[in-house]
Structure 1
Amino acid sequence: MMEVIVQSPFAEIAALLVLAAVVGFLGIILRQPLIVSFIAVGLIAGPSALDLVRSDEQISLLSELGIAVLLFLVGIKLDVKLIRSLGAVSLLTGLGQVAFTSVFGYLIGLALGLGHITSLYVAVALTFSSTIIIVKLLSDKREIDSLHGQIALGFLIVQDLVVVLAMIVLSAIGIGAADGGHGGGSVPMVLASGVAMVALVVVFVRYVANPLTERLAHAPELLVIFAIAMAAMFAAAGDIVGLGKEVGGLLAGVALASTPYRETIAARLAPLRDFLLLFFFIALGSALDLSLLGAHVSGAIVFSLFVLIGNPLIVLAIMGAMGYRKRTGFLAGLTVAQISEFSLIFVAMGVSLGHVQEDALGLVTMVGLVTIAASTYMITYSHQLYAVFEPLLGVFERKGTPREPSEAGAHREDGHKVIIFGLGRFGTAIGLRLQKRGIKVLGVDFNPLAIRRWRELGLETEFGDATDPEFVAELPLARAEWIVSTVPLHPTGLSHEDTRTTLIQLTRTSGFRGRVAVASHHPKDTEELFASGADMVLEPFQDAADRAVDLLCGAPEEERTEIPSIETEEKQAS
């Protein structure tokens, strides 16, 4: 049976899909992150187990296309103004993490008895963090649009660029060699190519993007094909000039981010992204040779702890020094607590050139397995981890946190009657109507775009997380009569924390004596929320139906309140 499968690429892909479905289903039953399940599929299908993966070129092609589409979808919803404001922290954090990991990784390698060249290879390999895995996890948790998600994306891009340039420099001085998949050339050539690609994007956005997509939108299927072609073309161009597929795919998304059809494109490409990324994880798992893992167990443990603990700490320290809150730094720091698939490629390149021995590849492979698996859980349960370590993190926060996009303390004594958590369409509609009735409202959200919209509408806001005990305790709860939560519940299969019940508990323990109203879309949730201490449960569909019946029965119509949409809402609506 196995021989029949491996003789046909189609049968091989079919077997891999069945295996992924079975292992993924078992992972969901065991409440394991889907990424861990997919990497396990690669290990099971790889040479160390079933040895199913024979069509390496086809799987690699699907994997690379998935990477291009993933970064394209990130680029298409980037907020340029927000990226500008986060440029400094992204640059300093990215460079700081690369420098810290390289220097101390090299010293740890020497302390463990590795040679100078081997230590250098391992240290450089440890600077890679997997942008693909991190973006996927943050997207699943709906945190890619949060402040820490945007900062993490920024310094990961900086890190990728620095690593590419480092590989070129190592190649030039004869210590390493640039991998064929990442192009090649001198540092000035790569920089010039990057500037040229950015200039091309600017010209495309200004003169071509809108009229072209408007014509293509008459045939939606053609618009989707064009978007995929853009992602693949820019990714290929980035790869050829040495910037990498990730940067190329990101620029392709930015090129279409200003068009009115970006939400439609993003919604239609999301399922394709998830399908193609399956092959990325299969390729990653099947490339790991488990027979090489036993040579440096103790060294792998030391390096894994260094990556899992040291990398987040340096990010936390840099962001704290720049004036960000310890919570933001902690959540962003967890995203660099792993090494990347390119770490294995880099060391394998050194093996092929004769610079290092195969046991070095085994060492980095084990570090990769440990850190990718562990950091997946760390990012998945980041808020629970913060609650555990929060008492120890005070040293990483400056007084006043001047860089947070909020006006901390500005509204503490204003006597707000209602505090609304969740500034989406429903929360914003409630806030505007309360304001029209002369009721002072304070809005709270963890999405910088939602915060900006409220401020543009003339409403007062605080940037923060409803599950952060310290933040909730600092809110002006004493004079508030109502706490209203319109935060949506997004079950992802990764974690099962209900922000609404957490908020009820935190406000009560912080001394709030008023009433709490929460939004619910399911009857079962309504019963549980009342049991958790909610005084009122808002059911948008039921309430809208009641209002519709009133209008049909002759109730006077009220003036409509227009609410400008933000990117994440437009994507969901499409």
Structure 2
Amino acid sequence: MHDATPLIATIVGGLVLAFIFGAIANRLRLPVLAGYLVAGVVAGPFTPGYVADAGIAQELADLGVILLMFGVGLHFSLKDLLSVKAISIPGAAVQMGVATGLGMLLGWGLGWPLTQGFVFGLALSVASTVVLLRAMEERRLLDSDRGRIAVGWLIVEDLAMVLALVLLPAIGGFLGSEKGGAAPAMGELFETVAWTVGKVVVFVALMLIVGKRVIPWTLQAVSATGSRELFRLAVLAMALGVAFGAAHLFDVSFELGAFFAGMMMGESKLSQQAAEETLPLRDAFAVLFFVSIGMLFNPHILVEHPWVVLAACLIIIVGKSAAAFVIVRAFGRPVKTALTIATSLAQIGEFSFILAALGVSVGLISAQARDVILAAAIVSILVNPLLFVALDRWIAKHDADAPDQHPAAVGGHTVLVGFGRVGRRVFAELREAGARVLVIETDEDAVRTLRDSGEADVVIGNAAAALVLAEANLSSARALIVAVPDPFEAGQVVRAARQLRDDLPIVARAHSQECMDHLAGLGASEVIYGEQELAHSLFEAARGDRSPVATSGH
């Protein structure tokens, strides 16, 4: 038998341990991210037993971040990015400044050198891409105003960190490092800044001028071959190729390169299919990202310097979030938007680790400060899902108390969960049939027109929550239609609804036979399987029972 290579051992060990501890966390009603992090601690060098290769794990995690940012770019147009620039650019700059200042203040209190306090504070100021985007995707907020602001904020932080990673050695020398190296002249520092900014500008311009035309054209040409395998390969090649080229030719981060690749591919009509093709790999490598974080964690820091770790956590969870909340409110945005942005940024991740490692390598921060950053990151990532749960409950209660929402008065209505592509079509059919409809959706922007026009009653929130379903007045409803695409989310809604009312007709959508069985087992009265219905319609059309034109688009 061949010995497992470090790559295979890391992938297998990471995924298996993540599954085991993720399942345990889910069983204990804890965020599954907690299980992934614990899996990383178990596989790390600071605990006995199996030890995975940390270097390989980090590279696998980088792949996950690349694919994740590529997926975000697919749904994020340049227009969306520019629409939030007025708040994202100054907001991110001020918030990073506040967090960096708080970190420097903590460093001053601990007697650290000025440069160490600066790098420490800067590491606490930038949020994790993976954590933020997973939270947004779970709540389907990426296409909302809140999601666009968060992503725009993230891009500004990304650009700031790209600049910081390039300039940090030079700035450290200018301020005077502990190694006593010669400080560069101000002219050299300015030249470094100008060169770095220039390369970023050239990359962005190249993507907007050339990439915007070449990437969609290539995708269309590959699609014309009829090979799904080749199409999938083309999507991955362009995503990873652009990210790699951006990093090595323009010194732009992998994340930013992948985001622009996705945004340019989003100009193609095949962007939705491209997103679906990358989803499985994105989820798998995102799991390895959290495992890699856990591997870096040294539990001894919690015993040796607990108060320093606590202070760092307070800066991340309280100080940085409070600054973001005040900034968003200062721009006249609603409290719900401000709370969402503040909660999204109440954690740190991959850029913080890169910055801390660079700081140690050039002698700007100590190993102790690096371990504090890692510990604070672990704690903040564990706490962040809990903060989102609290936020969801606050939003559900707030929307339920809103003066323009009185779903309790509704009766004899059909409840529609999900207002995406399928949900909108179902809603149109129901309205044409004269039915009264109540829509449950997490994205307020998606149903704002419905609420403003009075076409339908609207409840904002996660339909799997008992409070949200109660607001929909299921006891008087004629039927419940679950149109959300995710089978696990749909299953939670079906189960919660069935617990509230045994005789309620529940219709759900499915993408496979296994999904059909899953939803039926949880209590769905009828499950519509897309491919099955399509096959039936094609058979009827071919037999002459139905016009092929009449079935198009359904």
Does the TM-score normalized on the shorter chain lie above 0.5?
yes
Give structure 1 stretches of 5+ with no counterpart.
178-183, 395-399, 401-407, 506-515, 530-536, 565-574
Aligned counterpart for 1:354 among listed residues 360, 363, 371: 363
Deviations 1:110-139 (A, max 9, x none): 234444333222211101210122212332
Is 2:33–2:290's contact at 8 Å kept on the other side of the alignment? yes
Deviations 1:475-510 (A, max 9, x none): 9x9xx99997756385758x99749969x99xxxxx
Check if 1:254 corresponds to 2:269: no
Distance in 1 (CA, whole Å) between partners of 2:193 and 2:39 is 38
Structure 2 residue aligned with 1:238: 246
Structure 2 residue aligned with 1:423: 419
The offset of 1:247, in angstroms, is 0.4
Is 2:41–2:297's contact at 8 Å kept on the other side of the alignment? yes
Question: Using a 3 Å threshold, how does the CA distance of structure 1 residues 420 and 80 change in structure 2: closer, same or farther?
Answer: farther
Structure 1 residue aligned with 2:284: 275
Check if 1:333 corresponds to 2:342: yes
Check if 1:208 corresponds to 2:224: no
Structure 2 residue aligned with 1:196: 202
Is 2:91–2:324's contact at 8 Å kept on the other side of the alignment? yes
270-279 or 167-176, which moves further after superposition?
167-176
Is 2:124–2:315's contact at 8 Å kept on the other side of the alignment? no
Distance in 2 (CA, whole Å) between partners of 1:11 and 1:472 is 45
Aligned counterpart for 1:135 among listed residues 133, 136, 142: 133
Q: Which amino acid aligns with 2:196?
A: V
Distance in 2 (CA, whole Å) between partners of 1:314 and 1:269 is 35
Structure 1 residue aligned with 2:158: 160
Distance in 2 (CA, whole Å) between partners of 1:133 and 1:345 is 16
Is 2:65–2:129's contact at 8 Å kept on the other side of the alignment? no
Question: Using a 3 Å threshold, how does the CA distance of structure 1 residues 12 and 526 change in structure 2: closer, same or farther?
Answer: closer
Report the TM-score when normalising by structure 2.
0.75
> Partner of 1:349: helix, strand, or coil?
helix
Structure 2 residue aligned with 1:41: 39
Higher helix proportion (structure 1 or 2): 2
13-22 or 265-274, which moves further after superposition?
13-22
Count residues with an aligned counterpart: 516
Is 1:295–1:359's contact at 8 Å kept on the other side of the alignment? no
Aligned counterpart for 2:233 among listed residues 221, 225, 231: 225
446-455 or 12-21, which moves further after superposition?
446-455
Question: Using a 3 Å threshold, how does the CA distance of structure 1 residues 255 and 195 change in structure 2: closer, same or farther?
Answer: same
Is 2:396–2:461's contact at 8 Å kept on the other side of the alignment? no
The offset of 1:72, in angstroms, is 1.0
Question: Using a 3 Å threshold, how does the CA distance of structure 1 residues 87 and 555 change in structure 2: closer, same or farther?
Answer: same
Structure 1 residue aligned with 2:379: 370
Check if 1:299 corresponds to 2:308: yes
Give structure 2 stretches of 5+ with no counterpart.
178-189, 510-515
The offset of 1:46, in angstroms, is 1.0
Distance in 2 (CA, whole Å) between partners of 1:491 and 1:110 is 51
251-260 or 146-155, which moves further after superposition?
146-155
Q: Which amino acid aligns with 1:82?
A: D
Is 2:145–2:445's contact at 8 Å kept on the other side of the alignment? no
Is 2:520–2:527's contact at 8 Å kept on the other side of the alignment? no
Is 2:46–2:298's contact at 8 Å kept on the other side of the alignment? yes
The offset of 1:249, in angstroms, is 0.8
> Partner of 1:259: helix, strand, or coil?
coil
Question: Using a 3 Å threshold, how does the CA distance of structure 1 residues 83 and 451 change in structure 2: closer, same or farther?
Answer: farther
Aligned counterpart for 1:100 among listed residues 74, 98, 101: 98
Is 2:123–2:356's contact at 8 Å kept on the other side of the alignment? yes
Pairs within 5 Å for 1:156-555: 156-174=154-172, 175=175, 186-204=192-210, 206-217=212-223, 218=225, 219-240=227-248, 241-379=250-388, 382-384=391-393, 422-425=418-421, 427-433=423-429, 435-436=431-432, 445-447=441-443, 450-451=446-447, 464-465=460-461, 488=484, 490=486, 498=493, 520=508, 541=528
Question: Using a 3 Å threshold, how does the CA distance of structure 1 residues 223 and 294 change in structure 2: closer, same or farther?
Answer: same
Structure 1 residue aligned with 2:118: 120
The offset of 1:43, in angstroms, is 1.1
Is 2:61–2:285's contact at 8 Å kept on the other side of the alignment? yes
Question: Using a 3 Å threshold, how does the CA distance of structure 1 residues 196 and 382 change in structure 2: closer, same or farther?
Answer: same
Question: Using a 3 Å threshold, how does the CA distance of structure 1 residues 14 and 540 change in structure 2: closer, same or farther?
Answer: closer
Question: Using a 3 Å threshold, how does the CA distance of structure 1 residues 313 and 416 change in structure 2: closer, same or farther?
Answer: farther
Distance in 2 (CA, whole Å) between partners of 1:164 and 1:107 is 24
The offset of 1:244, in angstroms, is 0.9
> Partner of 1:32: helix, strand, or coil?
coil
Aligned counterpart for 1:88 among listed residues 82, 86, 89: 86
Deviations 1:130-183 (A, max 9, x none): 012221233244333343233212211111212322344443332599xxxxxx
